[in-house]
Amino acid sequence: MSKILIVDDDRQITFFLEKLLSFEGHTATALNEGSKTLETARTFKPDLFILDLMMPEPNGFELCRILRADPEYSETPIVIITAMDDSDSKAIAFLAGANDFITKPFRPDELATTIKTLIH
Protein backbone atom coordinates (compact mmCIF):
# COMPACT_ATOMS: atom_id res chain seq x y z
CA MET A 1 0.00 0.00 0.00
CA SER A 2 1.66 3.19 1.23
CA LYS A 3 5.10 4.05 2.54
CA ILE A 4 4.99 5.81 5.92
CA LEU A 5 7.88 7.44 7.78
CA ILE A 6 7.40 7.59 11.56
CA VAL A 7 9.45 10.08 13.60
CA ASP A 8 9.16 9.78 17.38
CA ASP A 9 11.89 9.68 20.03
CA ASP A 10 9.98 7.01 22.00
CA ARG A 11 11.20 3.62 20.73
CA GLN A 12 8.17 1.79 22.14
CA ILE A 13 5.83 4.03 20.16
CA THR A 14 7.78 3.65 16.93
CA PHE A 15 7.92 -0.14 17.37
CA PHE A 16 4.16 -0.26 17.98
CA LEU A 17 3.39 2.01 15.02
CA GLU A 18 5.63 0.01 12.67
CA LYS A 19 3.82 -3.21 13.62
CA LEU A 20 0.38 -1.61 13.42
CA LEU A 21 1.02 -0.04 10.03
CA SER A 22 2.55 -3.25 8.70
CA PHE A 23 -0.56 -5.13 9.84
CA GLU A 24 -2.64 -2.57 7.92
CA GLY A 25 -0.61 -3.36 4.78
CA HIS A 26 1.70 -0.33 4.75
CA THR A 27 5.47 -0.24 4.56
CA ALA A 28 6.67 1.72 7.56
CA THR A 29 10.07 2.78 8.75
CA ALA A 30 10.81 4.63 11.97
CA LEU A 31 13.32 7.16 13.20
CA ASN A 32 13.98 8.11 16.78
CA GLU A 33 15.80 11.31 15.80
CA GLY A 34 14.16 14.11 13.91
CA SER A 35 17.50 15.31 12.55
CA LYS A 36 17.67 12.31 10.18
CA THR A 37 14.21 12.79 8.68
CA LEU A 38 15.10 14.50 5.40
CA GLU A 39 18.04 12.19 4.74
CA THR A 40 15.88 9.11 5.31
CA ALA A 41 12.94 10.53 3.36
CA ARG A 42 15.10 11.10 0.28
CA THR A 43 15.82 7.37 0.03
CA PHE A 44 12.58 5.96 1.50
CA LYS A 45 10.21 8.27 -0.46
CA PRO A 46 7.30 8.25 2.02
CA ASP A 47 3.70 8.81 1.02
CA LEU A 48 2.94 10.11 4.53
CA PHE A 49 4.80 11.26 7.64
CA ILE A 50 3.82 10.58 11.25
CA LEU A 51 5.49 13.00 13.67
CA ASP A 52 5.59 13.38 17.41
CA LEU A 53 5.77 16.94 18.74
CA MET A 54 7.85 16.46 21.89
CA MET A 55 11.27 15.47 20.57
CA PRO A 56 14.77 16.85 20.87
CA GLU A 57 15.85 19.25 18.15
CA PRO A 58 14.14 19.59 15.87
CA ASN A 59 10.86 19.19 17.69
CA GLY A 60 7.78 18.12 15.76
CA PHE A 61 6.60 21.68 15.07
CA GLU A 62 9.99 22.59 13.58
CA LEU A 63 10.19 19.33 11.64
CA CYS A 64 6.76 19.92 10.17
CA ARG A 65 7.88 23.40 8.99
CA ILE A 66 11.10 21.94 7.54
CA LEU A 67 9.15 19.34 5.56
CA ARG A 68 6.67 21.92 4.27
CA ALA A 69 9.54 24.19 3.15
CA ASP A 70 11.09 21.37 1.10
CA PRO A 71 9.52 21.26 -2.40
CA GLU A 72 9.72 17.46 -2.43
CA TYR A 73 7.54 17.15 0.71
CA SER A 74 5.47 20.33 0.64
CA GLU A 75 2.36 18.31 -0.28
CA THR A 76 3.12 15.01 1.50
CA PRO A 77 0.52 14.40 4.24
CA ILE A 78 1.74 14.87 7.82
CA VAL A 79 -0.07 13.35 10.79
CA ILE A 80 0.88 14.50 14.27
CA ILE A 81 0.55 11.88 17.02
CA THR A 82 1.30 13.42 20.40
CA ALA A 83 0.44 13.50 24.08
CA MET A 84 0.00 17.29 23.82
CA ASP A 85 -3.75 17.81 23.71
CA ASP A 86 -4.08 21.54 24.28
CA SER A 87 -5.66 23.81 21.69
CA ASP A 88 -2.50 25.93 21.29
CA SER A 89 -0.42 22.89 20.28
CA LYS A 90 -3.08 21.86 17.77
CA ALA A 91 -3.24 25.34 16.28
CA ILE A 92 0.56 25.60 16.02
CA ALA A 93 0.78 22.15 14.43
CA PHE A 94 -1.81 23.01 11.79
CA LEU A 95 -0.11 26.37 11.12
CA ALA A 96 3.18 24.49 10.69
CA GLY A 97 1.55 22.39 7.97
CA ALA A 98 0.12 19.29 9.65
CA ASN A 99 -2.84 17.64 7.93
CA ASP A 100 -4.20 15.92 11.03
CA PHE A 101 -3.62 15.78 14.79
CA ILE A 102 -4.16 12.66 16.90
CA THR A 103 -3.74 12.64 20.67
CA LYS A 104 -2.00 9.79 22.53
CA PRO A 105 -3.29 7.41 23.61
CA PHE A 106 -5.06 6.82 20.32
CA ARG A 107 -7.22 4.10 18.85
CA PRO A 108 -5.58 2.12 16.03
CA ASP A 109 -8.74 2.36 13.91
CA GLU A 110 -8.63 6.15 14.23
CA LEU A 111 -5.12 6.20 12.78
CA ALA A 112 -6.07 3.75 10.01
CA THR A 113 -9.02 5.92 9.00
CA THR A 114 -6.89 9.07 9.03
CA ILE A 115 -4.27 7.46 6.79
CA LYS A 116 -6.91 6.18 4.35
CA THR A 117 -8.42 9.67 4.18
CA LEU A 118 -5.09 11.38 3.52
CA ILE A 119 -3.68 8.87 1.03
CA HIS A 120 -6.10 8.30 -1.79
Which CATH number covers residue 36?
Answer: 3.40.50.2300
Reference 46, options 72, 69, 71; nearest CA is: 72
Residues 81, 102 contacting (CB under 8 angstroms): yes
Helix H or strand E encompassing 13: helix 11-23
Residue 15's pLDDT is 96
**The pLDDT of residue 120 is above 80:** no
pLDDT at 20 over 80: yes
Tell me how far apart the alpha carbons of residues 13 and 19 are, in angstroms, rounded to a whole number: 10
Structural domain span for residue 98: 3-118
Helices (H), 24-120: 37-44, 60-69, 87-96, 108-118
Read off the pLDDT of residues 50-60 as tens digits, 9 standing for 90 and up.
999 999 889 99
* Number of domains the chain is built from: 1
Q: List pLDDT tens digits, range 81-94.
A: 999 999 999 999 99
Q: At what angle do helices 37-44 and 60-69 cross, to 10 degrees?
A: 50
